[in-house]
Amino acid sequence: MKSKLPLFGFGLLVGVIVFWAGWKFLDRPYTFRGSVIDPPMPMADFLLVDQHGQPFSLSGQQGKVVLLFFGYTHCPDVCPVTLAEFTRIKEELGAAASQVSFVYITVDPERDTVPVMNAYMRSFDPDFFALTETREKLEEVWSRFGVYQSRQESTSAGGYLVDHTARTYLLDQQGRLVATYPYEMGEADVVADVQHILSAGGVQ
């Protein structure tokens, strides 16, 4: 009768290898889909006004993940597309969306007054934050995030246009910049990154 020990030993070895490979796979650090800021960058606090005329500070969002975008209400394409993506991201997050702040900051304060921002945001989600203030105060925030904006004269019925940075910024629960995403970034990638931060309690 042939011994079963060699066969048993081979099976045990295969089992160990499979276990080790699975453990190494699960132990790998998470890879963010966006452009990663490594290490995460603490962002200076700012104080602006939301679409209800209420003060809004970045420090007031401590404990929440923040998705932030800079745009303006007369924007013909990039801004409404991004806000529509924000609404889909919120839907895909489900109950976890209560732990996320969706923030839209104007690059056109001369036209984007509080009432204008209020009406505009109702077209997307009234629970999103739409922020404005004086150009002087906004310029400080634009500078901190490296946001470019430049007024371009236009003959369109909507008036002048504003060229601006079209990236979305992801901040963790400690107010640190973790990653950025290009225009039309794809909701699935952003949802995956947000879910990871929420499940991990932040970025290590």
Tens of pLDDT along 81-98? 999 999 999 999 999 999
Q: How many Å apart are CA 75 and CA 79, to the nearest integer?
A: 6
**Residue 152, Cβ neighbours under 10 Å: how many?**
8
Residue 173: strand pairing partners: none
CATH of the domain spanning 31-200: 3.40.30.10
Instruction: Flag whether pLDDT at 119 surpasses 50.
Output: yes
The CA R_g of the chain, rounded to the nearest whole Å, is 23
Which stretches of the chain are DSSP H helices?
5-27, 78-93, 114-121, 135-145, 187-200
Q: Flag the least confident range among 4-13, 26-35, 70-79, 93-102.
A: 4-13
Domain boundaries, the chain: 31-200
Question: What is the pLDDT at residue 21?
Answer: 39
Question: Amino acid identity, residue 58?
Answer: L
Report the predicted TM-score, pTM, of the whole model to 2 decimal places: 0.84
Question: How many percent of the chain have pLDDT more than 90?
Answer: 75
Amino acid at 123: S
Residue 161: which H helix or E strand, with range?
A: strand 161-164
